[in-house]
């Protein structure tokens, strides 16, 4: 048996980018970029739960057509605004505030520099799915776990169907109910209800009859596209405050305090997108990327010469 994984993929990316910058003048400098983007690819697989990675992403639904897994890219945010800035506080001797303060007061209050990084972005694109091994609506064997020459080949996760007229975003969307489970269905099974396995085309016995009461395959994959749900966004402000003291002409001491997520804003993680789970749509964790986790801080002193 030859087991092959293709790392080829088709993708497209379009974006609108706006940029503004200000060189250091009067104690202020900043650089701000806003991006409105649309990225599509077919290398993410049917259970889009992270970046595709260098090995080509999750295993595809089927080798027959990559278009089955073509959709919004997880890691590309629809909207992203990122701004870096520094500002020399106008406090101290010879400055706007406290121009005549004593040298002792200036030693403590004057000459501080504020730096900051602000990131605001919409969430990643995720997708509802049925775990592999439950059923096989297409009848291609894609969703079934099989044994070949002693090797167990896991079934691929399967696409659900979209339900017409029902919004994927529930009213009062929150971490307990991020996605409307009734907006999706098990292909070929009108009796399916959220929180249960999709067993369409689950398999046949030795006589060729369907196992149990599972519906027969319907000859197609679910029509819900990859990246059909937008996950929680991110808001993060990180900042620092620093000041340099001249000890001699060539030696300076720098004091600084830096803090991530100064606002301690809770940035939610990805929701559970397993439609056969009773906790579908539940967000049970926060994120740590882009310094979006809980607020952290550190204070440091260093000699510069």
Write down the pLDDT at residue 84: 97
Pick 54 or 241 by higher pLDDT. 241
Statement: residue 2 has pLDDT above 50: no
Position 187 pLDDT exceeds 70: yes
pLDDT of residue 82: 97
**pTM (predicted TM-score):** 0.83
Phi-psi category of 181—alpha, beta or left, where left has phi over 0 and alpha has psi -120 to 50?
Answer: alpha
- What's the CA dihedral at 11, 12, 16, 22 to 10 degrees? 40
Mean pLDDT of 274-283: 96
User: Would you kindly state where each structural domain of the chain is located, as residue ranges?
Assistant: 11-304
- The position carrying tokens 């098990």 is 186
pLDDT digits 0-9 by tens, 217-239:
999 999 999 999 999 999 999 99
For residue 142, what are the CA distances in angstroms to 57, 106, 145, 178, 210? 17, 72, 8, 28, 17
Mean pLDDT of the chain: 86
Residue 56 has pLDDT above 60, yes or no: no
Nearest CA to 280 among 85, 95, 130, 91?
A: 130
Kindly indicate the confidence band of residue 183, based on its pLDDT and cuts at 50, 70 and 90.
very high
| Residue 217 tokens, joined | 């395959």
């Amino acid at each position: 048996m030859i087991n092959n994984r293709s790392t080829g993929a088709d993708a497209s990316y379009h974006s609108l980018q706006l940029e503004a910058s200000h060189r250091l003048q009067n104690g202020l400098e900043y650089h701000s970029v806003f991006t409105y983007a649309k990225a599509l690819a077919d290398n993410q697989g049917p259970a889009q739960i992270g970046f595709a990675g260098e090995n080509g992403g999750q295993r595809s639904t089927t080798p027959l057509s990559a278009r089955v897994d073509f959709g919004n890219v997880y890691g590309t945010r629809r909207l992203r605004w990122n701004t870096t800035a520094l500002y020399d506080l106008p406090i101290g001797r010879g400055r706007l505030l406290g121009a005549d303060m004593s040298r002792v007061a200036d030693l403590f209050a004057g000459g501080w520099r504020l730096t900051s990084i602000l990131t605001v972005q919409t969430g990643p694109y995720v997708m509802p799915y049925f775990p592999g091994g439950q059923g096989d609506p297409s009848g291609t064997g894609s969703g079934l776990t099989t044994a070949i020459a002693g090797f167990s080949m896991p079934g691929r996760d399967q696409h659900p169907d979209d339900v017409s007229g029902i919004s994927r975003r529930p009213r009062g969307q929150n971490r307990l109910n991020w996605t409307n489970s009734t907006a999706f269905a098990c292909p070929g099974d009108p009796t399916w209800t959220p929180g249960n396995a999709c067993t369409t085309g689950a398999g046949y016995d030795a006589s060729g009859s369907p196992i149990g009461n599972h519906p027969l395959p319907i000859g197609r994959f679910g029509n819900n596209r990859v990246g059909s749900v937008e996950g929680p966004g991110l808001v993060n402000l990180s900042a620092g405050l620093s000041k340099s003291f001249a000890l001699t002409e060539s030696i300076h001491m720098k004091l600084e305090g830096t803090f991530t997520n100064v606002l301690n804003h809770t940035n939610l993680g990805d929701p559970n997108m397993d439609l056969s789970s009773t906790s579908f749509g539940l967000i049970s964790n926060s994120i740590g990327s882009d310094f979006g986790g809980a607020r952290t801080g550190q204070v440091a002193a260093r000699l510069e010469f």
